[in-house]
């Protein structure tokens, strides 16, 4: 499996922290992400860039640059040993809002069905037919999954996204922490102590 992250210059230190946190279990490649007019438009390029950097024969993961592994990401790595999935991601369930349901913070694609999903997601991001939606990248991922119906392996519970005011505690079973750099969260110094 290859794990890739795409970063703008502001995110390079975060990408390095991400790479270091995963280094004993899985290498993370960091590639430049060209800036667009808005952060959302910048993020919409990620599926297309992942296609350009990889081969359909590979199992590839797209990882946000501001995620760190605080322990062995067993749910992710052990999932690679199973053959019952085409895509691995954090599915927060049908009760979540459309924009929050399928997180694009970590998505792994495998096999023909997985790569067909990646191509569909890239096409939806390129068209960007819902420009008034926030976090469109995730909405388009959900729509691609609904259309393609791949076998999904859920990583929910292994990735913790802290609330805006955070005391540094993580739930039991957490393997990765994602503190979105796009928002100001108290307690992020805790992450530096975990590396």
Higher pLDDT, 105 or 64: 64
- Cα dihedral value 76, 78, 82, 86, nearest 10: 10
Dihedral sign for Cα 5, 87, 153, 25, please. Answer: negative
Q: For residue 21, is pLDDT > 90?
A: yes
Higher pLDDT, 91 or 49: 49
Average pLDDT over residues 13-38: 93
Q: What does the pLDDT look like over 74-106, one tens digit per residue? A: 888 888 887 778 888 777 777 666 656 667 888
Domain ranges of the chain: 2-194
For residue 178, the SS3 value is strand
For residue 6, the SS3 value is strand
Q: Are strands 159-160 and 176-178 parallel, antiparallel or unpaired?
A: parallel
Q: Within a 10 A sphere around the Cβ of 15, how many other Cβ atoms?
A: 24
Give 9: exposed, middle or buried? Use CB within 10 Å, 0-12, 13-18, 19+.
exposed
CA-to-CA distance for 139 and 124, rounded, in angstroms? 10
For 26, residues 6+ apart whose C-beta sits below 8 A from its C-beta are: 1, 3, 73, 76, 77
Q: What does the pLDDT look like over 110-154, one tens digit per residue? A: 888 899 999 999 999 999 988 887 778 888 998 998 888 888 888
pLDDT of residue 99: 59
Q: Note the Cα 59 to chain centre separation in Å.
A: 14
User: Packing angle between helix 111-127 and helix 136-148, nearest 10 degrees?
Assistant: 140
pLDDT of residue 87: 85
In the chain, alpha helices (H): 12-22, 39-43, 46-53, 74-79, 98-101, 111-127, 136-148, 189-194
Q: CATH top-level class for 2-194?
A: alpha beta
Greatest CA span in the chain, whole angstroms?
A: 42
For residue 99, the SS3 value is helix
pLDDT of residue 184: 52
């Amino acid at each position: 499996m290859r794990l890739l992250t795409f970063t703008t210059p502001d995110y390079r230190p975060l990408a390095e922290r991400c790479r270091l946190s995963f280094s004993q279990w899985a290498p993370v490649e960091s590639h430049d992400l060209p800036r667009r007019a808005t952060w959302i438009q910048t993020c919409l390029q990620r599926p297309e860039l992942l296609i350009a950097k990889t081969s359909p024969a590979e199992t590839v993961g797209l990882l946000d640059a501001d995620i760190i592994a605080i322990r062995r990401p067993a749910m992710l790595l052990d999932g690679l040993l199973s053959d019952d999935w085409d895509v691995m991601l954090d599915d927060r369930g049908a009760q979540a809002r459309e924009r929050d349901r399928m997180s694009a913070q970590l998505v792994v694609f495998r096999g023909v069905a997985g790569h067909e999903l990646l191509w569909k997601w890239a096409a939806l991001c390129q068209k960007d037919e819902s420009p008034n939606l926030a976090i469109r990248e995730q909405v388009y991922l959900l729509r691609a999954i609904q259309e393609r119906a791949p076998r999904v392996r859920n990583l929910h519970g292994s990735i913790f996204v802290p609330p805006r005011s955070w005391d540094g505690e993580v739930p039991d079973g957490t393997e990765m922490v994602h503190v979105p750099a796009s928002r100001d969260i108290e307690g992020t110094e805790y992450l530096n102590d975990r590396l």
